[in-house]
Amino acid sequence: MAMEVELEPMAASIGVTVPVLRFLLCFAATIPLSFLWRIVPGRLPKHLYSAGVGVSLSYISFGLSSNMHFSVLIMIGYSSMLLFRPRCGILTFFLGFGYLIGCHVYYMSGDVWKDGGIDDTGALMVLTLKIISCLFNYNDGLLKEEEGLREAQRKYRLTKLPSLVEYIGYCLCCGSHFAGPVFEMKDYLDWTEGKGIWSKEAKGPSPSPYGATIRALIQAGFCMALYLYLVPYFPLSRFTEPIYQEWGFWKKFGYQYMSGFTARWKYYFIWSVSEASIIISGLGFSGWVNSSPPKPRWDRAKNVDILGVEFAKSSVMIPTVWNIQVSTWLRHYVYERLVQSGKKPRFFQLLATQTISAIWHGVYPGYIIFFVQSALMIAGSRAIYRWQQVTAPSMANAFVFLNFAYTLVVINYSSVGFLVLNLHETLAVFGSVYYIGTILPILMILLGNVIKPRRPGRSKAQKEQ
């Protein structure tokens, strides 16, 4: 209670609630605490430090209930590895998502977030993905190389059961469960034990994280400053005000674009801070660039490519530049595992993956609508790309611009559902611009099936090869 009173003036000065300020302070603390991990001696102390910091920050941010929720998920996962290894991955997938959905329904966190509050469901979301990936990889450890393993399965599979301390350290590592990024147990163990790219025998000297950390922090400061500047001009509440209904089509559409654009900078800020935390710990290191002299890469820490999002040439690129590590998780543990061996992925796999992503975010209609829309958006973009591949070089740039404009229109239209969440409000806003962002993808998909691009013919020499 004393802490609440002390934080009230600071919270009021920056326009947030005390719970949000408490979370932000703990979130910022992950950076120096992750740095201190580097000087902790020995493997076991490092695992204990990772777990202890995660538990402490969770308690300060969200209270005792958060660690109780985390403990349930953590023990579901570890018990499954101990007792049901041949099916532990799929078992924990359903149990973990079931528990997460129950928490989503109980807390209805979307309403809390819209009202300026915060709870532990965001951290629970990240933790769910980390646990499921660990168990699938332990499950894959039973498979043999000749059984047609995908590249990710070969790279991350676990042949040995992690100890409970290693497992908890991985789950709560220095507060990385607050906002990600999601990373693999194999990488966490190699990092802690000084193996793989973190070994002394690996190529190049030990990389310095400080330049990359400073860059991420500067990026975070810019993102937050821009968000705080824009948000008073483009509040979500405007969608339900009478003045919005008085506007013409283009002004409504422009406001939808600016609302989505504004909201994205908040996520850019959060992911930039988490990136700085993972980089300074050393875990974000992902190898060396082949240059002279060699430069370190920090891709493991990266969750967003801001310019890649804002200037995406096609909708297919969005999952590779937005919430990158979660998109990678969805590809490895949902999309690829739904594709039968020897067969090509279809729209079903894409739709199922986007539906899982929607459920992971919460049970609000707006999430479901957004991710179903995104599946349609990607499918429509693929149709445009197929036409681009077979068109004359003089027309190729026109299709590139068409795909860019299509992506810009549909992603900002669709993001309204993600932001307002309510079914009636989402449909009302969509209807105010005549459902243009829903009609366009469907139209592209239908045209793609009717006007099928002819594959370029092969030369006689190619046929004879």
SS (H, E, C) the chain: CHHHHHHHHHHHHHCCCHHHHHHHHHHHHHHHHHHHHCCCCCHHHHHHHHHHHHHHHHHHHHCHHHHHHHHHHHHHHHHHHHHCHHHHHHHHHHHHHHHHHHHHHHHCHHHHHHCCCCCCHHHHHHHHHHHHHHHHHHHHCCCCHHHCCCHHHHHHCCCCCCCHHHHHHHHHHHHCCCCCCCCCHHHHHHHHHCCHHHCCCCCCCCCCCHHHHHHHHHHHHHHHHHHHHHCCCCCHHHHHCHHHHHCCHHHHHHHHHHHHHHHHHHHHHHHHHHHHHHHHHCCCCCEEECCCCCEEECHHHCCECHHHHHCCCCHHHHHHHECHHHHHHHHHHHHHHHCCCCCCCCHHHHHHHHHHHHHHHCCCHHHHHHHHHHHHHHHHHHHHHHHHHHCCHHHHHHHHHHHHHHHHHHHHHHHHHHHHCCHHHHHHHHHHCCCHHHHHHHHHHHHHHHCCCCCCCCCHHHHHC
pLDDT of residue 241: 93
Tell me the pLDDT tens digit for each residue of 49-93. 999 999 999 999 998 989 999 999 999 999 999 999 999 999 999
187 pLDDT above the threshold of 60: yes
- Name the pLDDT band for 393 (thresholds 50, 70, 90): confident
461 pLDDT above the threshold of 50: no
pLDDT of residue 460: 43
Cα of 398 vs its chain's centroid, Å: 31
CA distance 410 to 377: 7
Q: Which residue has the tokens 């450890």?
A: 141
394 pLDDT above the threshold of 60: yes
CA distance 52 to 262: 36
> Average pLDDT for residues 336-353, to the nearest whole number?
86
> CB-based contacts of 449: which residues, under 8 Å, 6+ apart?
none
Most confident of 162-171, 297-306, 342-351: 162-171
Q: Name which of 316, 324, 332 is nearest 268 in CA terms.
A: 324
Cα of 193 vs its chain's centroid, Å: 27
> Average pLDDT for residues 286-310, to the nearest whole number?
88
Q: Name which of 320, 290, 316, 318 is nearest 302 in CA terms.
A: 320
Q: Are the C-beta atoms of 426 and 416 separated by less than 8 Å? A: yes
147 pLDDT above the threshold of 80: no
Q: Name which of 161, 155, 157, 152 is nearest 196 in CA terms.
A: 155
Tokens describing residue 325: 């590590």
pLDDT of residue 336: 92
Tokens describing residue 184: 């693999």
Percent above pLDDT 70 for the chain: 93
Q: Which residue has the tokens 């077979």?
A: 390
The mean-pLDDT minimum among 51-65, 133-147, 210-224, 444-458 falls in 444-458
pLDDT of residue 463: 40
Chain-wide mean pLDDT for the chain?
89
Active site residues: 361
pLDDT of residue 199: 86
